[in-house]
Amino acid sequence: MVKIFIDPGHGGDDPGAIGNGLREKDLVLDISRRIRRQLNRFNDVEVRMSREDDRFISLSNRATLANSWGADYFISVHVNAAGGTGFESYIWNGNVKSQTRSNQSIMHSEIIAQIGVRDRGRKSANFAVLRRTNMPAILTENLFIDNAAEAAKLKDSDFLEAIAKGHTNGLVSIYNLKGNGTESGTDETNGSDEEGSPPSGEISQIQSTLNDRYALSIAVDNIYGPETQGTLLKGLQTELNKQFNRRLVVDGIWGPNTRGAVVNVRRGARGNITWVLQATLLGKGFSPGSIDGIFGPKTESAVRRFQRAQGIKIDGIAGQETFTALFS
């Protein structure tokens, strides 16, 4: 059994790079989930992730989790910033084994082959997660979030799928993985369907409802990524305007005006704001049971579990602090 440890960079109060309405922490979690789902199509491979939702994990803990599990390979997924274009990958600049260099070459080539962007080269650096991991490790920098043209690619679900496919193909080549006969694996968080069939599942239903309710056209791909989260926030902003005359700009961006406009949502509440809350909790990995717009005991339990994971006040009420943790 090959053990692959995927590390979505940043998270929680560390958003990573920000630009063009995107945040690195959201993108890399989305890409990492896609890699995991793709790997589930193969036999004799097990996948773990350093984080399943929007929480902060220290660099040392990321390495410790992989080391304690006995991972065979460590992949830290990132998005670049500070000017530039293209893709680059890193290994530790210390005394690494030849296998680490060979793996980097394979991974790098497979990713470039899938996404077809400027190749910035195979590099090395003294990054903590590369230095502290016991197994071969790579850190990938997937385009530049502050480049408008590349940000447009990062907003495209198909392009994110291609980034993930490059990572997956590299692992298939390195470990000679064999398919298990399914066209698509099941993601632990979201699930998926056979390729070529219309996506189904809870996230797909949420995406379809968003499109119908708010006259939108987001991808119905059963993947909870930045586009879906931003659209849920647009739904929240729209409902706050309709129900409470908040006069918010419906832009899908969490800011002080939206934070100040939110209302407390608690057990007994019903309606579209509760529905948005439930859908966002599900996307973050905290299932509230049915996504039905009814704030019952299961929704309250999900709120409490989310609050506990975020280290915020645990009261089962979704107010400013909880919505901020969900959307920022």
pLDDT at residue 1 is higher than 60: yes
- What residue spans in the chain does CATH classification 1.10.101.10 cover? 202-327
Average of per-residue pLDDT across 181-201:
44
CATH T-level topology, domain 2-175: Aminopeptidase (3.40.630)
**Which superfamily does CATH assign the domain made up of 202-327 to?**
PGBD-like superfamily/PGBD (1.10.101.10)
pLDDT at residue 135 is higher than 90: yes
| Of 80-84, 177-181, 201-205, highest mean pLDDT | 80-84
Give me the catalytic one of 24, 141, 161, 300. 141
pLDDT at residue 183 is higher than 80: no
**272-289 per-position pLDDT tens digit:** 999 999 999 998 888 898
Which DSSP category does 252 fall into? S
C-alpha torsion sign, points 18, 22, 81, 93: positive
- What residue spans in the chain does CATH classification 3.40.630.40 cover? 2-175
What is the reported pTM? 0.61
- Is 141 an active-site residue? yes
Cβ atoms of residues 90 and 130 within 8 Å: yes
Q: For the purposes of burial, counting CB atoms within 10 Å of the CB of 181, is it exposed (0-12), middle (13-18) or buried (19 or more)?
A: exposed
For 12, the token pair is: 């929680």
Average of per-residue pLDDT across 198-206:
69
For 241, the token pair is: 């305007």
What does the angle CA 302 – CA 66 – CA 120 come to, to the nearest 5 degrees?
100
Place of tokens 């993985």: 177
